[in-house]
Chain A
Amino acid sequence: MALSVWEHLVGQDRAVVLLQQATRAAAEIVAGTGPGAAMTHAWVITGPPGSGRTTAAEAFAAALQCPAGGCGTCHSCTTARDRTHADVEVVRPVGMHHRVDHMRELVRRAALSPAGGRWQVVVIEDADRMEGTSQDWRAANALLKAIEEPTPRTVWVLCAPSLEDVLPTIRSRCRHIGLATPPVAAVADVLVRRDGIDPTMAAFAARAAQSHIGRARRLATDEGARLRRAEVLRIPTHLSGVGPCLTAAANVVEAAQEEAATVTGPLDAAETAELARALGQGSSRGLDGRGRAQLKDLEKDQKRRATRIQRDVLDLALLDLLGFYRDVLAVQLGAQVELVNTDVERDVRAVARASTPERTLQRIDSVTACREQIAGNVAALLAVEALTVTLR
C-alpha cells in the first residue's frame, strides 16, 4: 500500500500536526466553508541537513493539492511526487545559487492563478543560497516583492537550515515550521520499513549518519560509502607526520569526488536519456539544433550541480570527522551520552587518552574552520590539507 504523503517525514510529529492543520484550513478556504486561519501564503521550513526539509515542503504541497489532504495514491499526489504537477514547482539552485533572473521569472509565474483551482505551491529548496552579496541580495529581493504582495492562491514554501539564513524582510512575512533532528531509532525504523534494510545495518547507518536520513540510506545501501566513511575516520589515528597528513587529505577529497560521481553519474544519465526521448531522439531522425541546444544546457546545469554535490559530500565527510572528535570529547569528559562512532570505539578511546579536552576542542574548531573555508570557495584539497596538518 502506498504511504500517505506525511509518512515520508521521520520523527517530525509536531511539524506534521502544524502542516496538517494548515492543510485542513486551506481546504476550508478552497471550499469557502471557513476563514482558514491556520493557513497562510508563505512558510519557512528550517531544520538541520538531512532532517527532511524538502520532504516536508513537498508533502505539504502535495497535501494542499489533494482533495483528501495527501492520500499519496490519487493522480494529484503521484504527479506531485513525480514533480510534474502543474501547481507544484520545486525550485532548486542550478549551480551554487538561485539566480536572480530565475527568481524574477518565478515572480511572474507566481502571479498566475492555479491550473487546478486549488493552490499554486512554489517550494524553494536551499533558500539560503540566493545570488547576491550582503549589500545587495538581488535574488532574495526579487522574491520579496512577490511575498510582500501575495497572490490569493499562491503559497511559498522556503527551505533553509535556520531562520537566520533567510533575509529578515522575507522571514518576517512567513510562518515558521522548525524540524527537529530525528531520533536515531526513528531513522533506523524508516530504513527498515521503507527501504527494506536489515535492522542491524539500519541502526548502524542511522547512528553513523547522525540522523541525516539521506546519508543513512546511502551508508546502509552502498558499501563504497561505508568504506569512504571508514577512510575518513582513520584520519585521526594516522597523522604521524606531514607526509601522511597530505596523503590523508588527498584521500578524503578523492573519496568525496568519487562519492559525488556515484550520485550524479546515474542521475545525469537518466535525465539526459529522458530529455532526449521527450525531444524525439531514438527514432528515424536525430535531434535538430534546438534539441541539441537544450541537451547542452542540461549538460551545463548538470556540471554546475556536480560541483555543488561534490562540495556537499565533502562537507558530510567533514561532519563524520567532527562526529569522531565529538565522541573523543565525550569520552574525555566522561559524559553519559551514546557514542556516534561505536564501530571505531577503540580509536576514539585511543585518541581520547593521547590528548586533552582543550586539544580536542581546538581540533573541533579547525574542522569547523575548514568547513567554512570550503563553503567560501577555497580549493578543497588545500583546505583539507591545512586541516589535517593542524589536526596532527
Chain B
Amino acid sequence: MRFRVERDVLAEAVAWTARSLPSRPPVPVLAGLLVEADKTGLTLSGFDYEVSAQVRVDAQVEEPGRALVSGRLLADISRSLPPQPVSVTTEGPKVLLVCGSARFALLTLPVDEYPTLPELPHVTGTLPSGLLATAVAQVAVAAGRDDTLPVLTGIRVEIEGDTVTLAATDRYRLAVRELTWHPEQPGLSAVSLVPARTLADTAKALTGIETVSIALSTGTAGEGLMGFEGQGRRTTTRLLEGEFPKYRALLPSESSAVATVDTAVLVEAVKRVSLVAERNTPVRLTFAAEELQLDAGTGEEAQASESLPCTLDGEPLTIAFNPHFLLDGLSAIDAEVTRFSFTAATKPAVITAGGTGEAAGPAPYRYLLMPVRLSG
C-alpha cells in the first residue's frame, strides 16, 4: 500500500473515525483503524461491534492495499503533523508515515482478523443534521439505563410518509418528538428501535454534515441495522429487538387544566428547592391562578419552598414530581415558556413548549412525566 493525502484531510478523517473506536476493546484488533487504499481513494474504518464508522476521502493512491494500525496512536499522530502532504507506505510488518521531515513507523495489527463491517442498508430519506441531533437529544433523556431491560434503553423511530416520530421511555417519563423529513419514496412506513446512547452519539458526530441520509433495513426480524450517511462519512448502528411499550395510549388526548411558567425561572427554583429533597423524594408543585408554589422536604427533615408567577387555566392542583426527571424535561423542551397540561394530580402531566396552543395542533415535542404519589 502506498498513498499520499492532504494533512488536514487525513487528520479530520482519522479523528472522526477514531471517535467510534471502543475505549476498552473486547478484542485487540478492534482498537485498530482499518486503512484501505484503492484506485478511487482512501477509506478509514472503525468498529466496536455495535457501531461502525467509515470515511472516504480523496488520496493519490500509487499502490492499493490495506493495513490495520492502532487507532488512538494514528489519531494522536495525525493531529500533530506539520501542514504538509502525508505519504503512507506499508513496509513489512510496519506502516511508514512521512510528513515533511517527520517520520513515523507504526506497528500493524493482523488485518485478516479484522471483522467484516456491517453493510449499509438502502437509503430511505434525508434530513438536516442539526434537526436530527436536537430531536434525538430531546428524546434520549427519557431512555432507560437498566441493562436488564434492553427495550427501554432504546429510542423508537417510526417513519410514516414524511413524518418521523421518535419516542423513549424508562417507565417514569416518556419523551416524544415529531419531525418532518424527506423520504425517498412517498408512503414509506417503517419502525425500528435504536440504542439511545449510540443514536445520540451518532447524531452528535454527524453535526458537521449538512444533510444526513438515513438508511434503514426494512427486512424481517433480526436483520435490523440503521445507517447514516453524508459527505463521504457513514455509520451503522445495530438495532434493539423487542416490543416497545404502546406509548401512544399513554398520551392524554385532553386536559382539565393548563399552566404556563417561565422556563428559566422554574428551572432555577426547582434546583434550589430540590437541594433538600433526598434521593427519590419529590418536589411538590401547587398551581394556583397566578402563583406556583414549590416545596420539598417533610416535617421532620429540612424543608424548602419558593413561589413564582404562573398562569393557570383550570382548577388549582397540587402535584409532585421527581426533581431530576422534571429538570430533564424542562431542559429538553428548549423554550422560554413551559406549558404544563394536567388531567388529575395522580395522572401524568404533559410538558410542552409554551407557545404552542391547542389551536396550533399538537406540539412537536412532548414530555410526559409520571407524578409521585403524595402520602396523606
Chain A residues at the B interface, C-beta cutoff of 8 Å: 32, 75-76, 78-79, 82-86, 89, 104-105, 107-117, 119, 142, 145, 149, 151-154, 274-275, 277-280, 282-285, 290-291, 294
Contacts and interface: CB of A to CB of B under 8 A. Distances in A.
Contacts of A83: 27
B106 A283 contact: yes
Interface in B171-208: 195
Contacts of A151: 222, 241-242
B118 interface: yes
Contact of A112 (B32, B47, B239): B239
B107 interface: yes
Nearest to A284: B104
Given A277-B28, A278-B25, A278-B29, A112 B223 contact: no
B220 interface: yes
B350 interface: no
Given A111-B151, A115-B115, 18 more contacts: A75-B116, A82-B112, A85-B116, A105-B147, A107-B148, A112-B150, A112-B240, A113-B222, A113-B225, A115-B225, A117-B118, A119-B222, A142-B148, A151-B222, A277-B28, A278-B32, A279-B70, A283-B107
B224 interface: yes
A282 B107 contact: yes
Given A84-B29, A153-B222, A112 B50 contact: yes
Closest 8 CB pairs of A and B: A153-B222, A280-B73, A111-B150, A278-B31, A278-B28, A113-B224, A280-B70, A152-B221
B49 interface: yes
A218 to B, nearest CB: 25
B114 to A, nearest CB: 7
Interface residues of B, number: 50
A366 B238 CA distance: 54
A78 B112 contact: yes
B72 A85 contact: no
A83 to B, nearest CB: 6
B238 A112 contact: yes
17 contacts: A79-B113, A84-B113, A84-B114, A86-B115, A107-B148, A113-B224, A113-B238, A115-B225, A115-B238, A116-B118, A277-B28, A277-B107, A278-B32, A279-B31, A279-B70, A279-B73, A294-B24
Contacts of B73: 279-280, 283, 285
B212 interface: no
Contact of A279 (B72, B104, B147): B72
Contacts, number: 130
A8 to B, nearest CB: 18
Nearest to A291: B72
Nearest to A273: B28
A288 B265 CA distance: 44
A224 B289 CA distance: 89
A294 B195 CA distance: 26
B115 A112 contact: no
A32 B223 CA distance: 12
A331 B286 CA distance: 91
A258 B105 CA distance: 39
B240 A76 contact: no
Contacts of A282: 107
A154 B240 CA distance: 11
A153 B241 contact: yes
A274 B32 CA distance: 11
B152 to A, nearest CB: 10
A291 B28 CA distance: 12
B313 interface: no
Contact of A82 (B26, B70, B105, B113): B113
B76 interface: yes
Contact of A111 (B24, B223, B241): B241
B74 to A, nearest CB: 8
Given A86-B49, A104-B148, A277 B109 contact: yes
A107 B151 CA distance: 11
Nearest to B51: A115
A122 B308 CA distance: 55
Contacts of A86: 47, 49, 115-116, 118
